[in-house]
Structure 1
Amino acid sequence: MDRSSSSPFRAAGMLRGLAWDVGLPLVAYYGLHLLGVGDWTALLAATLLAGVRIVVGMVRERVLNPFATVMLVVFGLGVLLALVTGDAEFVLLKNSIITGAVGLVFLATSLVGRPLTLAASKSFQPERAAEIDEQYRTNPGARHAHRLSSTVWGAGLLLEALVRVPLIYALPISVMVGVSEALSVVTFGALIGWNIWYARRATRRLSSS
Protein backbone atom coordinates (compact mmCIF):
# COMPACT_ATOMS: atom_id res chain seq x y z
CA MET A 1 0.00 0.00 0.00
CA ASP A 2 1.38 3.43 -0.87
CA ARG A 3 0.38 6.71 0.63
CA SER A 4 -2.09 7.47 -2.09
CA SER A 5 -3.93 4.23 -1.42
CA SER A 6 -4.24 4.89 2.29
CA SER A 7 -5.47 8.45 1.92
CA PRO A 8 -8.78 8.85 0.06
CA PHE A 9 -8.21 12.58 -0.38
CA ARG A 10 -5.19 14.65 -1.27
CA ALA A 11 -4.87 17.81 0.81
CA ALA A 12 -3.83 20.12 -2.04
CA GLY A 13 -6.86 19.28 -4.18
CA MET A 14 -9.22 19.53 -1.22
CA LEU A 15 -7.82 22.91 -0.16
CA ARG A 16 -8.14 24.34 -3.67
CA GLY A 17 -11.73 23.16 -3.84
CA LEU A 18 -12.46 24.56 -0.38
CA ALA A 19 -10.99 27.94 -1.31
CA TRP A 20 -13.34 28.19 -4.29
CA ASP A 21 -16.35 26.87 -2.36
CA VAL A 22 -15.85 29.39 0.44
CA GLY A 23 -14.48 32.33 -1.53
CA LEU A 24 -17.08 32.60 -4.28
CA PRO A 25 -20.19 32.78 -2.05
CA LEU A 26 -18.51 35.20 0.38
CA VAL A 27 -17.39 37.59 -2.36
CA ALA A 28 -20.81 37.42 -4.00
CA TYR A 29 -22.76 38.00 -0.77
CA TYR A 30 -20.69 40.82 0.72
CA GLY A 31 -20.18 42.44 -2.70
CA LEU A 32 -23.92 42.58 -3.34
CA HIS A 33 -24.53 43.65 0.25
CA LEU A 34 -22.20 46.64 -0.21
CA LEU A 35 -24.20 47.58 -3.31
CA GLY A 36 -27.35 47.75 -1.18
CA VAL A 37 -28.87 44.40 -2.15
CA GLY A 38 -31.01 42.82 0.58
CA ASP A 39 -29.94 39.80 2.63
CA TRP A 40 -32.26 37.28 0.98
CA THR A 41 -31.36 38.27 -2.59
CA ALA A 42 -27.63 38.45 -1.85
CA LEU A 43 -27.68 35.07 -0.11
CA LEU A 44 -29.64 33.47 -2.94
CA ALA A 45 -27.24 34.89 -5.54
CA ALA A 46 -24.25 33.56 -3.59
CA THR A 47 -25.96 30.19 -3.27
CA LEU A 48 -26.68 29.96 -6.99
CA LEU A 49 -23.08 30.91 -7.77
CA ALA A 50 -21.90 28.01 -5.62
CA GLY A 51 -24.30 25.75 -7.54
CA VAL A 52 -22.87 26.93 -10.86
CA ARG A 53 -19.44 25.83 -9.62
CA ILE A 54 -20.77 22.29 -9.04
CA VAL A 55 -22.27 22.16 -12.53
CA VAL A 56 -19.09 23.52 -14.14
CA GLY A 57 -17.07 20.82 -12.39
CA MET A 58 -19.41 18.13 -13.69
CA VAL A 59 -19.22 19.49 -17.25
CA ARG A 60 -15.42 19.71 -17.06
CA GLU A 61 -15.14 16.09 -15.93
CA ARG A 62 -17.79 15.01 -18.47
CA VAL A 63 -19.18 12.51 -16.00
CA LEU A 64 -21.97 12.52 -13.42
CA ASN A 65 -20.21 10.77 -10.53
CA PRO A 66 -22.10 9.80 -7.34
CA PHE A 67 -20.47 12.55 -5.23
CA ALA A 68 -21.45 15.30 -7.67
CA THR A 69 -24.92 13.80 -8.03
CA VAL A 70 -25.54 13.83 -4.28
CA MET A 71 -24.28 17.40 -3.97
CA LEU A 72 -26.39 18.62 -6.89
CA VAL A 73 -29.62 16.94 -5.77
CA VAL A 74 -29.38 18.15 -2.16
CA PHE A 75 -28.22 21.57 -3.29
CA GLY A 76 -31.14 21.88 -5.72
CA LEU A 77 -33.68 20.91 -3.06
CA GLY A 78 -32.21 23.47 -0.67
CA VAL A 79 -32.46 26.28 -3.25
CA LEU A 80 -36.02 25.28 -4.14
CA LEU A 81 -37.09 25.43 -0.49
CA ALA A 82 -35.32 28.77 -0.07
CA LEU A 83 -37.25 30.20 -3.04
CA VAL A 84 -40.54 28.91 -1.65
CA THR A 85 -40.03 30.30 1.85
CA GLY A 86 -38.39 33.61 0.88
CA ASP A 87 -36.64 33.57 4.25
CA ALA A 88 -33.00 34.71 4.59
CA GLU A 89 -32.47 32.48 7.63
CA PHE A 90 -33.64 29.49 5.62
CA VAL A 91 -31.11 30.26 2.87
CA LEU A 92 -28.43 29.93 5.54
CA LEU A 93 -30.15 26.90 6.99
CA LYS A 94 -29.79 25.32 3.56
CA ASN A 95 -26.07 24.94 4.30
CA SER A 96 -26.89 22.74 7.26
CA ILE A 97 -29.39 20.76 5.19
CA ILE A 98 -26.78 20.12 2.50
CA THR A 99 -23.96 19.37 4.95
CA GLY A 100 -26.11 17.11 7.11
CA ALA A 101 -27.54 15.20 4.13
CA VAL A 102 -24.10 14.66 2.62
CA GLY A 103 -22.81 13.57 6.04
CA LEU A 104 -25.57 10.97 6.27
CA VAL A 105 -24.73 9.69 2.79
CA PHE A 106 -21.07 9.38 3.79
CA LEU A 107 -22.10 7.33 6.82
CA ALA A 108 -24.54 5.16 4.87
CA THR A 109 -22.04 4.36 2.12
CA SER A 110 -19.40 3.44 4.68
CA LEU A 111 -21.71 0.57 5.66
CA VAL A 112 -23.36 -0.35 2.35
CA GLY A 113 -21.95 -0.25 -1.17
CA ARG A 114 -18.98 1.85 -2.24
CA PRO A 115 -17.92 4.59 0.20
CA LEU A 116 -18.70 8.10 -1.01
CA THR A 117 -15.07 9.04 -0.43
CA LEU A 118 -14.22 6.92 -3.47
CA ALA A 119 -16.34 9.12 -5.75
CA ALA A 120 -15.17 12.25 -3.91
CA SER A 121 -11.54 11.29 -4.46
CA LYS A 122 -12.13 10.90 -8.18
CA SER A 123 -14.04 14.20 -8.27
CA PHE A 124 -11.13 16.08 -6.70
CA GLN A 125 -8.50 14.13 -8.68
CA PRO A 126 -10.08 13.31 -12.08
CA GLU A 127 -6.67 12.61 -13.61
CA ARG A 128 -6.23 9.69 -11.14
CA ALA A 129 -9.76 8.27 -11.40
CA ALA A 130 -8.73 4.99 -13.03
CA GLU A 131 -5.85 4.53 -10.57
CA ILE A 132 -8.10 5.18 -7.57
CA ASP A 133 -10.66 2.67 -8.85
CA GLU A 134 -7.97 0.05 -9.37
CA GLN A 135 -6.54 0.60 -5.86
CA TYR A 136 -9.99 0.19 -4.34
CA ARG A 137 -10.65 -2.97 -6.35
CA THR A 138 -7.33 -4.73 -5.65
CA ASN A 139 -6.06 -3.34 -2.34
CA PRO A 140 -7.82 -4.30 0.95
CA GLY A 141 -5.98 -1.47 2.70
CA ALA A 142 -7.42 1.07 0.27
CA ARG A 143 -10.94 -0.29 0.82
CA HIS A 144 -10.51 -0.06 4.60
CA ALA A 145 -9.15 3.48 4.28
CA HIS A 146 -12.14 4.61 2.24
CA ARG A 147 -14.67 3.05 4.61
CA LEU A 148 -13.02 4.54 7.68
CA SER A 149 -12.60 7.92 6.00
CA SER A 150 -16.23 7.92 4.88
CA THR A 151 -17.29 7.28 8.48
CA VAL A 152 -15.11 10.08 9.86
CA TRP A 153 -16.21 12.58 7.20
CA GLY A 154 -19.85 11.66 7.68
CA ALA A 155 -19.67 12.17 11.45
CA GLY A 156 -17.76 15.45 11.07
CA LEU A 157 -20.14 16.94 8.51
CA LEU A 158 -23.19 15.90 10.52
CA LEU A 159 -21.77 17.53 13.63
CA GLU A 160 -21.06 20.75 11.70
CA ALA A 161 -24.65 20.83 10.44
CA LEU A 162 -26.05 20.46 13.96
CA VAL A 163 -23.78 23.18 15.39
CA ARG A 164 -24.72 25.67 12.66
CA VAL A 165 -28.51 25.52 13.18
CA PRO A 166 -28.82 27.36 16.54
CA LEU A 167 -26.24 29.95 15.45
CA ILE A 168 -28.36 30.92 12.43
CA TYR A 169 -31.16 32.13 14.70
CA ALA A 170 -28.88 33.60 17.37
CA LEU A 171 -26.70 35.85 15.18
CA PRO A 172 -27.47 38.63 12.67
CA ILE A 173 -27.55 37.47 9.04
CA SER A 174 -24.53 39.59 7.99
CA VAL A 175 -22.47 38.07 10.83
CA MET A 176 -23.70 34.53 10.35
CA VAL A 177 -22.68 34.46 6.68
CA GLY A 178 -19.04 34.82 7.71
CA VAL A 179 -19.44 32.52 10.73
CA SER A 180 -21.06 29.83 8.56
CA GLU A 181 -18.18 29.87 6.08
CA ALA A 182 -15.64 29.94 8.92
CA LEU A 183 -17.35 26.89 10.42
CA SER A 184 -17.00 25.12 7.08
CA VAL A 185 -13.31 26.03 6.89
CA VAL A 186 -12.63 24.74 10.42
CA THR A 187 -14.56 21.52 9.81
CA PHE A 188 -12.98 20.77 6.44
CA GLY A 189 -9.55 21.77 7.76
CA ALA A 190 -9.91 19.36 10.66
CA LEU A 191 -11.10 16.54 8.39
CA ILE A 192 -8.31 17.14 5.88
CA GLY A 193 -5.84 17.21 8.78
CA TRP A 194 -7.20 13.88 9.96
CA ASN A 195 -6.72 12.41 6.48
CA ILE A 196 -3.11 13.59 6.39
CA TRP A 197 -2.46 12.13 9.87
CA TYR A 198 -4.11 8.85 8.92
CA ALA A 199 -2.10 8.57 5.70
CA ARG A 200 1.18 9.16 7.51
CA ARG A 201 0.27 6.70 10.26
CA ALA A 202 -0.67 4.01 7.73
CA THR A 203 2.57 4.61 5.81
CA ARG A 204 4.68 4.31 8.98
CA ARG A 205 2.93 1.06 9.96
CA LEU A 206 3.49 -0.34 6.48
CA SER A 207 7.18 0.58 6.44
CA SER A 208 7.76 -0.97 9.88
CA SER A 209 6.01 -4.27 9.05
Structure 2
Amino acid sequence: MNRLSRTLLLDVVAPLAVFYGLRAAGASPLAALVAGAVLPLAGAARDLAARRRPDGVRLFVLAVMASTVAASLITGSPRALLVRSAVLMAALGVFLLLTRRSFLYTAAHTVLPPDKQRIWQDNWDRHPPFRRVLSLLGTVWAAGCLLDAAIRLTLALTLPVDSVPALDAALLVVTLILLMLIQRTFGRAYLNRHGLRLRGVVLEPYPQDRPSTPPPLARTGTPPPARTGTPPPARPRPDSAGPRP
Protein backbone atom coordinates (compact mmCIF):
# COMPACT_ATOMS: atom_id res chain seq x y z
CA MET A 1 0.00 0.00 0.00
CA ASN A 2 1.49 3.35 -1.05
CA ARG A 3 1.58 6.53 0.97
CA LEU A 4 -1.49 8.09 -0.65
CA SER A 5 -3.60 5.00 0.00
CA ARG A 6 -2.54 4.91 3.64
CA THR A 7 -3.36 8.58 4.05
CA LEU A 8 -6.84 8.19 2.55
CA LEU A 9 -7.51 5.12 4.65
CA LEU A 10 -6.34 6.70 7.90
CA ASP A 11 -7.65 10.23 7.45
CA VAL A 12 -10.86 9.69 5.47
CA VAL A 13 -12.21 6.14 5.44
CA ALA A 14 -11.40 5.08 9.01
CA PRO A 15 -12.87 8.19 10.73
CA LEU A 16 -16.07 7.82 8.71
CA ALA A 17 -16.39 4.16 9.59
CA VAL A 18 -15.79 4.86 13.29
CA PHE A 19 -18.22 7.78 13.40
CA TYR A 20 -21.14 6.09 11.66
CA GLY A 21 -20.47 2.77 13.39
CA LEU A 22 -20.65 4.40 16.83
CA ARG A 23 -23.71 6.43 15.86
CA ALA A 24 -25.43 3.24 14.77
CA ALA A 25 -24.52 1.74 18.15
CA GLY A 26 -26.19 4.65 19.95
CA ALA A 27 -23.21 6.88 20.81
CA SER A 28 -23.66 10.65 20.93
CA PRO A 29 -22.46 12.76 17.97
CA LEU A 30 -19.70 14.29 20.09
CA ALA A 31 -18.38 10.94 21.31
CA ALA A 32 -18.48 9.47 17.81
CA LEU A 33 -16.64 12.46 16.33
CA VAL A 34 -13.95 12.42 19.01
CA ALA A 35 -13.42 8.68 18.53
CA GLY A 36 -13.18 9.15 14.76
CA ALA A 37 -10.59 11.92 15.22
CA VAL A 38 -8.31 9.73 17.32
CA LEU A 39 -6.97 7.75 14.35
CA PRO A 40 -5.78 10.68 12.20
CA LEU A 41 -4.51 12.42 15.35
CA ALA A 42 -2.46 9.37 16.31
CA GLY A 43 -1.18 9.00 12.74
CA ALA A 44 -0.05 12.63 12.64
CA ALA A 45 1.70 12.27 15.99
CA ARG A 46 3.48 9.11 14.83
CA ASP A 47 4.68 10.74 11.60
CA LEU A 48 5.88 13.73 13.56
CA ALA A 49 7.81 11.57 16.02
CA ALA A 50 9.42 9.58 13.20
CA ARG A 51 11.08 12.69 11.79
CA ARG A 52 14.24 14.02 13.33
CA ARG A 53 13.34 17.55 12.30
CA PRO A 54 9.59 18.14 12.56
CA ASP A 55 8.36 20.37 9.73
CA GLY A 56 5.97 23.25 10.20
CA VAL A 57 3.16 21.74 8.14
CA ARG A 58 2.93 18.60 10.26
CA LEU A 59 3.09 20.64 13.44
CA PHE A 60 0.27 22.84 12.19
CA VAL A 61 -1.94 19.86 11.24
CA LEU A 62 -1.36 18.24 14.60
CA ALA A 63 -2.10 21.49 16.43
CA VAL A 64 -5.37 22.00 14.55
CA MET A 65 -6.50 18.44 15.25
CA ALA A 66 -5.67 18.66 18.94
CA SER A 67 -7.23 22.10 19.38
CA THR A 68 -10.52 21.19 17.69
CA VAL A 69 -10.85 18.02 19.77
CA ALA A 70 -10.14 20.02 22.93
CA ALA A 71 -12.62 22.74 21.94
CA SER A 72 -15.34 20.16 21.32
CA LEU A 73 -14.74 18.52 24.70
CA ILE A 74 -14.70 21.88 26.51
CA THR A 75 -17.78 23.36 24.86
CA GLY A 76 -19.66 20.10 24.48
CA SER A 77 -20.49 21.05 20.88
CA PRO A 78 -19.62 18.65 18.06
CA ARG A 79 -19.59 21.51 15.56
CA ALA A 80 -16.27 22.78 16.93
CA LEU A 81 -14.79 19.49 15.74
CA LEU A 82 -16.61 19.58 12.40
CA VAL A 83 -14.91 22.84 11.35
CA ARG A 84 -11.49 21.14 11.55
CA SER A 85 -11.49 20.16 7.88
CA ALA A 86 -12.47 23.70 6.88
CA VAL A 87 -9.57 25.17 8.88
CA LEU A 88 -7.08 22.72 7.37
CA MET A 89 -8.30 23.34 3.82
CA ALA A 90 -8.17 27.10 4.29
CA ALA A 91 -4.62 26.85 5.62
CA LEU A 92 -3.67 24.73 2.60
CA GLY A 93 -5.17 27.33 0.28
CA VAL A 94 -3.18 30.15 1.89
CA PHE A 95 0.00 28.05 1.73
CA LEU A 96 -0.54 27.33 -1.97
CA LEU A 97 -1.19 31.00 -2.64
CA LEU A 98 2.08 31.98 -1.01
CA THR A 99 4.08 29.25 -2.77
CA ARG A 100 2.14 29.07 -6.06
CA ARG A 101 5.25 29.65 -8.17
CA SER A 102 7.03 26.49 -7.09
CA PHE A 103 4.51 24.28 -5.26
CA LEU A 104 3.45 22.04 -8.15
CA TYR A 105 7.01 21.77 -9.40
CA THR A 106 8.29 20.80 -5.93
CA ALA A 107 5.41 18.39 -5.27
CA ALA A 108 6.00 16.53 -8.54
CA HIS A 109 9.78 16.62 -8.13
CA THR A 110 9.45 14.99 -4.69
CA VAL A 111 7.56 11.91 -5.90
CA LEU A 112 9.48 11.34 -9.17
CA PRO A 113 12.38 8.85 -9.42
CA PRO A 114 15.89 10.37 -9.70
CA ASP A 115 16.19 10.03 -13.50
CA LYS A 116 12.88 11.80 -14.07
CA GLN A 117 13.70 14.43 -11.46
CA ARG A 118 16.58 15.59 -13.66
CA ILE A 119 14.26 15.86 -16.67
CA TRP A 120 11.68 17.76 -14.61
CA GLN A 121 14.34 20.18 -13.39
CA ASP A 122 15.60 20.66 -16.95
CA ASN A 123 12.05 21.57 -18.03
CA TRP A 124 11.93 24.19 -15.28
CA ASP A 125 15.35 25.64 -16.12
CA ARG A 126 14.99 25.79 -19.92
CA HIS A 127 11.35 26.66 -20.62
CA PRO A 128 9.77 29.88 -19.23
CA PRO A 129 6.22 28.82 -20.36
CA PHE A 130 6.57 25.72 -18.18
CA ARG A 131 7.39 27.88 -15.16
CA ARG A 132 4.52 30.26 -15.89
CA VAL A 133 1.90 27.54 -16.31
CA LEU A 134 2.90 25.88 -13.03
CA SER A 135 2.59 29.25 -11.28
CA LEU A 136 -0.86 29.83 -12.79
CA LEU A 137 -2.01 26.34 -11.83
CA GLY A 138 -0.73 26.89 -8.30
CA THR A 139 -3.04 29.90 -8.08
CA VAL A 140 -5.92 27.77 -9.37
CA TRP A 141 -5.27 25.14 -6.70
CA ALA A 142 -5.11 27.83 -4.00
CA ALA A 143 -8.44 29.32 -5.10
CA GLY A 144 -10.02 25.87 -5.23
CA CYS A 145 -8.90 25.02 -1.70
CA LEU A 146 -10.17 28.33 -0.31
CA LEU A 147 -13.55 27.84 -1.99
CA ASP A 148 -13.67 24.28 -0.66
CA ALA A 149 -12.93 25.59 2.86
CA ALA A 150 -15.79 28.10 2.65
CA ILE A 151 -18.22 25.36 1.62
CA ARG A 152 -17.01 23.08 4.41
CA LEU A 153 -17.49 25.81 6.99
CA THR A 154 -21.03 26.42 5.76
CA LEU A 155 -21.84 22.71 5.91
CA ALA A 156 -20.39 22.33 9.41
CA LEU A 157 -22.37 25.24 10.86
CA THR A 158 -25.74 24.76 9.15
CA LEU A 159 -26.43 21.10 8.36
CA PRO A 160 -27.31 18.27 10.75
CA VAL A 161 -24.22 16.87 12.46
CA ASP A 162 -24.76 13.33 11.21
CA SER A 163 -24.68 14.38 7.54
CA VAL A 164 -21.54 16.57 7.68
CA PRO A 165 -18.77 13.88 7.82
CA ALA A 166 -20.06 12.08 4.71
CA LEU A 167 -20.49 15.38 2.85
CA ASP A 168 -16.96 16.40 3.86
CA ALA A 169 -15.54 13.27 2.26
CA ALA A 170 -17.66 13.68 -0.88
CA LEU A 171 -16.59 17.32 -1.21
CA LEU A 172 -12.94 16.29 -1.01
CA VAL A 173 -13.38 13.89 -3.93
CA VAL A 174 -15.24 16.48 -6.02
CA THR A 175 -12.67 19.20 -5.32
CA LEU A 176 -9.73 16.99 -6.27
CA ILE A 177 -11.35 15.73 -9.46
CA LEU A 178 -12.27 19.25 -10.63
CA LEU A 179 -8.85 20.68 -9.87
CA MET A 180 -7.06 17.85 -11.64
CA LEU A 181 -9.30 18.22 -14.71
CA ILE A 182 -8.61 21.96 -14.83
CA GLN A 183 -4.91 21.35 -14.38
CA ARG A 184 -4.77 18.82 -17.19
CA THR A 185 -6.92 20.78 -19.66
CA PHE A 186 -5.59 24.28 -19.05
CA GLY A 187 -1.98 23.17 -18.63
CA ARG A 188 -1.94 21.22 -21.89
CA ALA A 189 -3.65 24.04 -23.84
CA TYR A 190 -1.26 26.67 -22.43
CA LEU A 191 1.82 24.68 -23.36
CA ASN A 192 0.46 23.96 -26.84
CA ARG A 193 -0.12 27.67 -27.46
CA HIS A 194 3.54 28.21 -26.67
CA GLY A 195 4.71 25.44 -28.99
CA LEU A 196 5.36 22.83 -26.29
CA ARG A 197 3.93 19.45 -25.37
CA LEU A 198 4.40 17.41 -22.18
CA ARG A 199 4.77 13.67 -22.77
CA GLY A 200 5.13 12.07 -19.35
CA VAL A 201 7.75 14.34 -17.81
CA VAL A 202 9.48 15.17 -21.10
CA LEU A 203 8.74 18.62 -22.51
CA GLU A 204 9.17 18.70 -26.27
CA PRO A 205 8.23 20.99 -29.20
CA TYR A 206 4.60 20.69 -30.20
CA PRO A 207 4.24 19.60 -33.87
CA GLN A 208 2.52 22.28 -35.89
CA ASP A 209 -0.25 21.30 -38.31
CA ARG A 210 0.76 21.17 -41.98
CA PRO A 211 -1.24 23.36 -44.41
CA SER A 212 -4.06 21.49 -46.12
CA THR A 213 -3.40 23.06 -49.57
CA PRO A 214 0.00 23.31 -51.22
CA PRO A 215 1.50 26.81 -51.43
CA PRO A 216 1.32 28.55 -54.84
CA LEU A 217 4.25 27.99 -57.14
CA ALA A 218 6.78 30.77 -57.20
CA ARG A 219 7.21 32.70 -60.39
CA THR A 220 10.38 31.99 -62.34
CA GLY A 221 12.05 33.56 -65.34
CA THR A 222 11.29 30.62 -67.65
CA PRO A 223 9.58 31.87 -70.84
CA PRO A 224 6.23 30.39 -71.82
CA PRO A 225 6.36 27.40 -74.19
CA ALA A 226 6.46 28.14 -77.93
CA ARG A 227 3.28 27.75 -79.89
CA THR A 228 2.95 24.68 -82.05
CA GLY A 229 1.38 24.31 -85.52
CA THR A 230 1.98 25.78 -89.04
CA PRO A 231 2.98 29.43 -88.97
CA PRO A 232 0.93 31.83 -91.11
CA PRO A 233 2.36 32.69 -94.60
CA ALA A 234 4.54 35.74 -94.74
CA ARG A 235 3.27 38.79 -96.55
CA PRO A 236 5.15 39.77 -99.74
CA ARG A 237 7.53 42.57 -99.12
CA PRO A 238 6.91 45.54 -101.38
CA ASP A 239 9.82 46.56 -103.59
CA SER A 240 10.13 50.29 -103.53
CA ALA A 241 12.26 50.33 -106.70
CA GLY A 242 9.65 48.53 -108.87
CA PRO A 243 10.33 46.11 -111.73
CA ARG A 244 13.23 46.86 -114.00
CA PRO A 245 12.43 47.61 -117.65
TM over 0.5, shorter chain: yes
Conserved in 2, the CA contact under 8 Å of 1:106 and 1:115?
Answer: no
Q: Deviations over 1:110-160 (max 9, x none)?
A: 2xxx5322343345x253683444543444233223211110010010011
State the shift of 1:99 in Å.
0.3
Q: 2:37 is matched with which residue: 47, 51, 58?
A: 47
Q: Distance in 1 between matches of 2:121 and 2:26?
A: 49
SS of 1:168's partner is helix
For structure 1, list consecutive stretches of 5 or more residues without a partner in the other structure: 1-12
For structure 2, list consecutive stretches of 5 or more residues without a partner in the other structure: 197-205, 209-245
Q: 2:174 is matched with which residue: 186, 199, 208?
A: 186
Amino acid across the alignment from 1:150: G
Q: 2:158 is matched with which residue: 159, 166, 170?
A: 170
Q: 2:18 is matched with which residue: 15, 28, 35?
A: 28
Relative to its length, the structure with more helix (as a share) is: 1
Amino acid across the alignment from 1:83: V
- What is the aligned partner in structure 1 of residue 98 from structure 2? 108
Percent identical pairs in the alignment equals 24
Conserved in 2, the CA contact under 8 Å of 1:106 and 1:117?
Answer: no
State the shift of 1:73 in Å.
3.0
SS of 2:83's partner is helix
Amino acid across the alignment from 2:167: V
Aligned residue-pair number: 189
**Higher relative contact order (Cα pairs below 8 Å, separated by 6+ residues):** 1
Q: 1:81 is matched with which residue: 58, 64, 67?
A: 67
State the shift of 1:168 in Å.
1.2
State the shift of 1:185 in Å.
1.4
Conserved in 2, the CA contact under 8 Å of 1:24 and 1:46?
Answer: yes
TM-score, with structure 1 as normaliser: 0.71
Conserved in 2, the CA contact under 8 Å of 1:25 and 1:49?
Answer: yes
Q: Distance in 2 between matches of 1:64 and 1:78?
A: 19
Q: Distance in 1 between matches of 2:78 and 2:95?
A: 26
SS of 1:183's partner is helix
- Taking a change above 3 Å as real, the CA distance of residues 88 and 197 of structure 1, as seen in their structure-2 partners, is same
Amino acid across the alignment from 1:160: D
- Taking a change above 3 Å as real, the CA distance of residues 51 and 83 of structure 1, as seen in their structure-2 partners, is closer
Q: CA RMSD in A?
A: 3.5
Conserved in 2, the CA contact under 8 Å of 1:117 and 1:150?
Answer: yes
TM-score, with structure 2 as normaliser: 0.62
Matches within 5 A, 1:195-206: 195-202=183-190, 204-205=192-193, 206=196
